[in-house]
Chains A and B, each alone.
Chain A
Amino acid sequence: MIPINWYLIVAAALFAIGLFGVFSRKNAVAILMGVELMLNAVNINLLAFWRYRAPTEPTGMAFAVIVFAVAAAEVAVGLALFIAVYRRFNSVVADDINLMKW
């Protein structure tokens, strides 16, 4: 049987890679990809704890389903914003979108 630590450490690595992508990428769509990786890492954690702690109850799976719905909503709004920004600035590079930068 696989120890739960393995899942948690892989999820931590995935989360750290996603965090690096969010911090370091210049393209806004790539930043959103980093956020997706982080959400997936969170879901692995939720399901690992569901499997090892309370597999007879649907609580952990219900939580993961709701994370799915929120991730889909976030991507839909984010990508629509990037399309609108691209129309206005002709770029989706985060450095160029500095209209509200102090």
Chain B
Amino acid sequence: MTAMQIIFLITAVVTLFAAFRVVTTPNMIHAALWLIVALFGVAVFYLLLQASFLAMAQIIVYIGAIAILMMFVIMLTRREMRDRGPQTGSQWPWAAVLSALMFGGIVWMVNSTALPASPVADVPETSIADLGRALVNPNGFVIPFEVASVLLLAALIGAVFVAWTRRHS
């Protein structure tokens, strides 16, 4: 067992435990804090996969923006924070069965598929520069990239519109 595998296993245990706490803890603020731990663990997986740009983007976008935004919304809707009772619906056993079936199905499929045992090549040193060029290359991903930009802009304008307080109505 190599050092990489040990790091992977520790990260996997921490990430999955944090994710489990996200969906089970009754206190919403604690759920948001556990979400930060889980997202950080996913960033470590990206580093193990040598996608360093995406690991940094994960920390900045997910932890720096999304998790903090969620924490703001939890505090703004804080009547729920005082609810210390069960935060799961009465149908949670069905949800658990369905999730376990989903997990079992995916594991069965992964194990019955021929997958590459090791990477076909090393990641080139210029992978981040290649990604940047591909995102603005007309023969690459410029159209999906621009569509994603317009989607983000439209979503943010829509978010401001939906959350706007109308004073005289």
Which residue in chain B gives the minimum CB-CB distance to A21?
Answer: B23
Inter-chain contact B73/A79, CB cutoff 8 Å? yes
Compute how far the CA of A56 lies from the CA of B79 in the bound complex, rounded to whole angstroms.
51
Q: How many residues of A contact B (CB 8 A)?
A: 76
Q: Which residues of B contact A69 (CB under 8 A)?
A: 148-149, 151-152
Inter-chain contact A7/B45, CB cutoff 8 Å? yes
Instruction: Say what secondary structure dominates the interface of chain B.
Output: helix
CB<8 Å pairs between A and B, sample of 9: A23-B91, A26-B87, A33-B32, A34-B22, A58-B127, A72-B61, A77-B155, A81-B162, A86-B76
Q: Which residues of A contact B141 (CB under 8 A)?
A: 62, 66
Q: What sequence of 0s and 1s flags, for each residue 17-38 of chain B, a beta carbon within 8 Å of any chain A beta carbon? A: 0011011000010011001001
Question: A84-102: which have CB < 8 Å to B?
Answer: 84, 86-87, 90-95
Inter-chain contact B96/A20, CB cutoff 8 Å? yes
Question: B113-136: which have CB < 8 Å to A?
Answer: 115-124, 127, 130-131, 133-135
Q: Which residues of B contact A93 (CB under 8 A)?
A: 80
* Cβ 8 A contact of A75, one of B66, B103, B140, B145: B66
* Cβ 8 A contact of B120, one of A23, A25, A55, A72: A55
Inter-chain contact B57/A68, CB cutoff 8 Å? yes
Compute how far the CA of A81 lies from the CA of B142 in the bound complex, rounded to whole angstroms.
31
Question: B68-126: which have CB < 8 Å to A?
Answer: 69-70, 73-74, 76-77, 79-80, 87-89, 91-92, 94-96, 98-100, 102-103, 106-107, 110-111, 115-124
